Amino acid sequence: MVTGFPGAGKTDVISTLVNILLDHDDFDKVFVYASSNGATSNVCSRIDKLNRHFVDEYNKSLPSHRHRQYAVVIRGHNIQMEHERILGTVNNAFNRTAQYNSQQPPLPRSKRVFQMPLSVAEWLLKIVGFGNYRLNTYDSGELHDLRLQYLALPAYDPLRRFFAGEKSWDDIVTEWETTYPDPNDADLMRKPDNLLSNLMTSLISRADVLATTPHVAKDKAYICFTRQIAKASVPDEAGAINVPQALLGWPNFRAWLLAGDERQLPPTVMTLHEKDSSGNFVNKFARHLRVSILERLRRIGWPTCVLNEQLRIVDGGFDPASEVFYPDVSDFSYADSCGIANRPKAIAAENGAVSKYKTIKSKQHEGKIQPLFIHVQGQCGVEEFTASRFNIQQAYKTIQLILELINASNGTIDAEDIGIISPYTAMNRRLESLLEGEPSLDRKVTVHTPDTFRGQEKPFIFYVLTVERESTAGHVASRQRSAVGITRHTDGLFIIGDIETVKPEDAKKKAVAVTNDDGEVEMIDVGPFSRLLQWFIREKRVGLP
């Protein structure tokens, strides 16, 4: 079990250990899972990247007959989404619109959870050789064998014609229905949907590493791998996974590696206050689900490896989080790779901010680039139906600052380097609307809540507090939510908000009642949030208008 603050390298440790397991016959099939789609995709990508690096380095010094092959690392999504992505990719290539998916509107930015790299869809398109999708010479021999089966078996002829562009999906479905007009006589194995599903299932069974969320792991296409084929289970971001979710990926008590941080966001429990028609709680054990598997194991004294070196965030960029949220981590240090000499983007952002805001004190001469707080009070509003908060002035200022950052960097910083985090969905909708009005930023700058962005990072994060001194601090003051919001960057953090949201004298006596994501009213100690604001004032890192 591995724990550590954000940027300590938990995911890298997990990725390394998984690659070590793959070299051992007793553990060479691994199921990896995390609580969110973003975290799952992140750890899957790291495992694959590290594996390819290992194999490439190993093969450099050996003759070709001794070369090793890449592990088959698959990022599994809902299998219906995978199915639709395959058909959509082919239809788009041939400018077709199939009846099954006629001109559906694009998903909202916050709902685009599907990521093509390493997905079942991408691997299958490589198996069939569609377009520019091709298997690598060093890809697993099992995948090349599956491709030979696909090319040779007569049963796959309808799929071959579809992927070659000779027939549309609707055409091959109609052919099957014409061949078997009587449902009682139909050969269901030759139904195009089933042919494609069987090919996907065959692909999944050949995985060396399968990564999904706990919920998706229950899909029929994945359950054979997760329950029978896998020899080890690896939950990442275990501080956000409750015990039942953890057990979904851990049958038969096989080898188990965990990594996470219990000081970040806890598991979300949607049924916490749900009642039946008689007024009885549907889930009488819901409060137990608020305790993560990581916290439960640590509290019973399970041995834990604690990481204490910052590997990701630029030197100085973790200072407020270290002081306010992780003061008990002993021997904390930044790795050499975090030095500002290695971070030209961080230097460009710092120089631009210092030239614009005369109230900011730079510590570049000390080898540090610390986060910045841009003071914008604005007016906090509340949506009538959702009770979610928004602040138009802070939203406009955020977009303005992003444009200024990109323009002042002289090409060093791109829109894809930037992410926005706000604790409120109403605020995020307004930010997304403003981004859509800026062609240079739309669909490049991402917008998230702390809950949806945990386990991920971007070079630059704009953390928009939304609240101000005339409103209560709300759940933005949550210790765990703040710990996520201010640690998702690698090169620069900009906090946009009211520096006087919580005054020091109020922090000593005030606990705020907040309705959290589960519908539960909880009391939040605003002390840590107040100390965070005071850190920026003390360090002279507040940009005033």
Three-class DSSP category at 79: helix
Which comes out higher in pLDDT, residue 278 or 432? 432
CB atoms within 10 A of CB 432: 18
Indicate yes or no: pTM above 0.85.
yes
Residue 283 has pLDDT above 90, yes or no: no
**369-382 residue pLDDT tens:** 999 999 999 999 99
Closest residue by Cα to residue 248 from 212, 276, 283: 212
Alpha helices in 207-317 (DSSP H): 220-224, 243-248, 293-299
d(CA 370, CA 351): 12
Three-class DSSP category at 353: helix
Residue 106 has pLDDT above 70, yes or no: no
What's the pLDDT score for residue 307?
Answer: 95
What's the pLDDT score for residue 45?
Answer: 97
| Cross-strand partners of 447 | 420
Burial 464-492 (b: 16+ CB within 10 A, else e): bbbbbeebbbbbbbbbbbbbbbbbbbbbb
What's the pLDDT score for residue 456?
Answer: 86
Residue 95 has pLDDT above 80, yes or no: no
Report the length, in residues, of the chain.
Answer: 545
What's the pLDDT score for residue 524?
Answer: 81
Alpha helices in 61-191 (DSSP H): 79-93, 120-128, 141-152, 157-163, 169-179
Residue 473 has pLDDT above 70, yes or no: yes
**22-73 residue pLDDT tens:** 999 999 999 999 988 989 999 999 999 999 999 999 999 899 889 999 999 9
Chain centroid, CA 51 distance in Å: 20
Alpha helices in 372-478 (DSSP H): 392-408, 425-436, 450-453
d(CA 545, CA 534): 18
Domain with CATH 3.40.50.300 in the chain: 1-70+208-307, 316-543
Which comes out higher in pLDDT, residue 287 or 5? 5
What's the pLDDT score for residue 516?
Answer: 53
Under 8 Å between Cβ of 38 and 32:
no
CA 32 to each of CA 17, 139, 232: distance values in angstroms, whole numbers, following the listed order: 12, 20, 9
Dihedral angle sign, alpha carbons of residues 153, 157, 158, 164: positive
d(CA 399, CA 462): 10
Residue 149 has pLDDT above 60, yes or no: yes
Residue type, 191: K
Average pLDDT over residues 254-269: 89
CA 454 to each of CA 30, 260, 447: distance values in angstroms, whole numbers, following the listed order: 23, 11, 13
d(CA 311, CA 17): 17
- Give 520's contacts (C-beta < 8 A, 6+ positions apart): 272, 273
Please give the DSSP secondary-structure letter assigned to residue 97: -
What's the pLDDT score for residue 509?
Answer: 63
Residue type, 229: I
Closest residue by Cα to residue 427 from 473, 395, 463, 379: 395
Closest residue by Cα to residue 369 from 361, 379, 358, 377: 361
Q: Which element (helix H / strand E) includes 514?
A: strand 511-515
**CATH classification (class only), 1-70+208-307:** alpha beta
d(CA 350, CA 360): 10
| Range 316-543 classified under CATH 3.40.50.300 | yes
d(CA 263, CA 112): 27
